Amino acid sequence: MDTKKSFDMTRRQFVMSSAALLTAGALTHDAVASQGAAAARGPFRVIIDTDPGVDDALALLLAMRSPELKIEAITPVAGNVPLELTLPNALRLVEIAGRTDIPVAAGARAPLLRRLVTATYAHGENGLGGAVFPEPTTKPVSESASEYIRHIVRKYPHEVTLITLGPLTNIATALNSDPELAGMVRGLTMMGGSLSGGNITPAAEFNIYVDPEAARIVFQSGIPITMVGLDVTRKTSLTEEHVRVLEAAQNPASQAAAKIGRNAINHNRDRGFLVGPNMHDSLAVAAFLDPTILKWQDYYVDVEVAGELTAGETLGYSPVAGDLKRRPGMEKDLAASMTIRGSAPTLASTKTSPVVREKYVPNTKVGIDVDSSRFFELLIGRLAGK
């Protein structure tokens, strides 16, 4: 597939999209809230797209020990480490959790248009903080991740939520190959992005930075999005006490999580950090299981793809945030008149500033605060078997 052509088409379709589509996107945000509130009942069909990864590993173990979730597939992607490691890491984790019933489908080896940037400096050369486990004996399914995502979503239209813990290459590839797919996805809960600065550049969070073109396709797709970004995940540091609780529990998942967690804490200490690793991806899973752990605010979110220094930055537009705040009762009027613009024209251009959106319509619920204690009660409690 010509990914560059597909991306260009998506942008063009987005800019020219109708007001009816925007209105539909706004209405579906009520479904996001009800989806989260209902997650305590379950089970809910999910596909977990991931790049294990230390925090991905604990997130996957949490998901596989959560009866609210009917995990239809795990789809590894290149990100924290190359696919040659994220794929066997995912297979190891389903074996450790005793969940080899969950299909694992190999995903993209590289971003849509860019060379792969990894985070071995944070996750170790093997992606699991240096924690060593036996080679997996389970095999992936024959279909690629993007094909398998399409297959499952079409099999269960409007029932499947995508939980994404890595770069969004697999999801964008599936959407590019099937124009009707976005309308069949129930929702997407992502670990990614930030409205308060990045962790790989001052502007960009890692997952979005690795494949900003893919992220832009997803944000512009019309899928109801719940974004769990650095604004909240930076408040979820794993501690020695957490690891000791996991070590004391006698089950394979807790023992594996403790091993990975202790290695990650030691790795952070060796690098001079004062706190343990943040549980970015586990918080995204927890946010789906219990959205009341976080505080949410509606934004229109877009992704910078052209910036030399800012590629991968997620920009959040809101009539009730920053300098745009108004007294109560005026937000609706401001939203109706709020135009979302691109960059100012250069001297060499005769064009005016491009209008990205004629009218403000939120496309994303963004986590803006978190109850860290409740989050760790859920994470450590589930892994420890309490």
Q: Which residues contact 212 (CB under 8 A, 6 or more apart)?
A: 114, 204, 303, 304, 305, 311, 312
Tokens representing 127 are 């992606």
List strand residue ranges (DSSP E) for 118-186, in order.
Answer: 160-164
Residue whose structure tokens are 């343990």: 276
List strand residue ranges (DSSP E) for 91-185, in order.
Answer: 160-164
Is residue 332 within 8 Å of 317, Cβ to Cβ?
no
Distance from C-alpha of 94 to C-alpha of 273, rounded to nearest angstrom: 31
Tokens representing 318 are 């809101």
**What is the helix, strand, coil percentage profile of the chain, to 5?**
45, 15, 40
Angle CA 92–93–97, to nearest 5: 120
Q: Which residues contact 58 (CB under 8 A, 6 or more apart)?
A: 257, 260, 261, 279, 281, 282, 379, 383
* Radius of gyration from C-alpha coordinates of the chain: 20
Is residue 49 within 8 Å of 107, Cβ to Cβ?
yes
Burial class (CB in 10 A: 0-12, 13-18, 19+), 100: middle
Is residue 265 within 8 Å of 278, Cβ to Cβ?
no
Per the annotation, the verdict on 280 as an active-site residue is yes
Tokens representing 367 are 């986590």
Segment holding 198, helix H or strand E: none
Distance from C-alpha of 151 to C-alpha of 147, rounded to nearest angstrom: 6
* Catalytic member of 29, 123, 242, 280: 280
Active site members: 280
